[in-house]
Amino acid sequence: MDYFTFPNIDPVLLDLGFFQIRWYALAYISGLVFGWWYCMRLARSVPNNITVKQVDDFMVWAVLGVILGGRLGHVFFYYPGHYLANPIEIFKVWEGGMAFHGGLLGVIVAMLVFARKNKFSVFALSDLVSAAVPVGIFFGRIANFINQELWGRVTDVPWAVIFTHPNAGGLPRHPSQLYEAVMEGLIPFVVLFILTHVFKARFRPGLLTGTFCALYGLARITGETFREEEIPIDFLPFMTYGQLLSLPMLLFGLFLIGWALKQPRLVEKKA
């Protein structure tokens, strides 16, 4: 069978000699810019218990949370031995290597501290962020595909891709990055968009946050079945590391959805 052979795309989109723009960095920048714009737009709608200025101020916190948390998550969740032996490589963020769960923890810490500092419920902020973050995840998975990283398991499906990266072995594999772009990014964004704009889920604080956590957890657990395992878990041979980290997200998301639906609905303010 003739499979699609991945074209040799340069991970550097633009090279000016003294400055480079990589696909990976572009994905993060695009996700953050969209997230900033969308959260600002949502903050203007009712119930408006967080101001547009506060959302604008939080973006610096969010960027730091994503970058520091994502990088440290990659270092300590997946390859602690390698980076402890080569600590200088921890700072080479431009070469890739960001863990979603680490970035999530970084943003959670940033939201908790920022909400406490500004004296409002963390759900006023986390619901906005949850509605926007799937777009960043979508761009990130597309960048993973372009960079030929986090590829899928060997398969004989007609749409299999032969990645040219030396470590891929020249074998047809699932384009799992594209699966995850749809399952972790596109579908959650559409669902959260409908909940936000059609069913006014923001009037039930925590509902959007719980829905995002549940959808991402389920999508990541499902997507990992197609993705080449990075680090085997000796004591859990039937589960990947990504699934192990995503299971608490799924359970917490389901709990938070149930909790939010039991709370009194916020009263819509008159314009």
Query: In angstroms, rounded to a whole number, what is the distance separating the alpha carbons of residues 186 and 120?
Result: 30
What residues does 154 pair with on adjacent strands? 173
Query: In angstroms, rounded to a whole number, what is the distance separating the alpha carbons of residues 125 and 172?
Result: 43
Burial zone of 270 (CB within 10 Å; 0-12 exposed, 13-18 middle, 19+ buried) = exposed
**The tokens of 122 are what?**
């963390």
- Contact present, 62 and 32 (Cβ < 8 Å): yes
Of 207, 152, 229, 214, which Cα lies nearest the Cα of 184?
214
- 158 in helix, strand or coil? coil
| Phi/psi of residue 99, nearest 5 degrees | -100, 130
Which ranges in 147-206 belong to alpha helices (H)? 176-180, 187-197
220 is in an annotated binding site: no
DSSP string for residues in 231-262: S--TT-TTS-HHHHHHHHHHHHHHHHHHHHHH
Q: Residues forming the annotated binding site?
A: 141
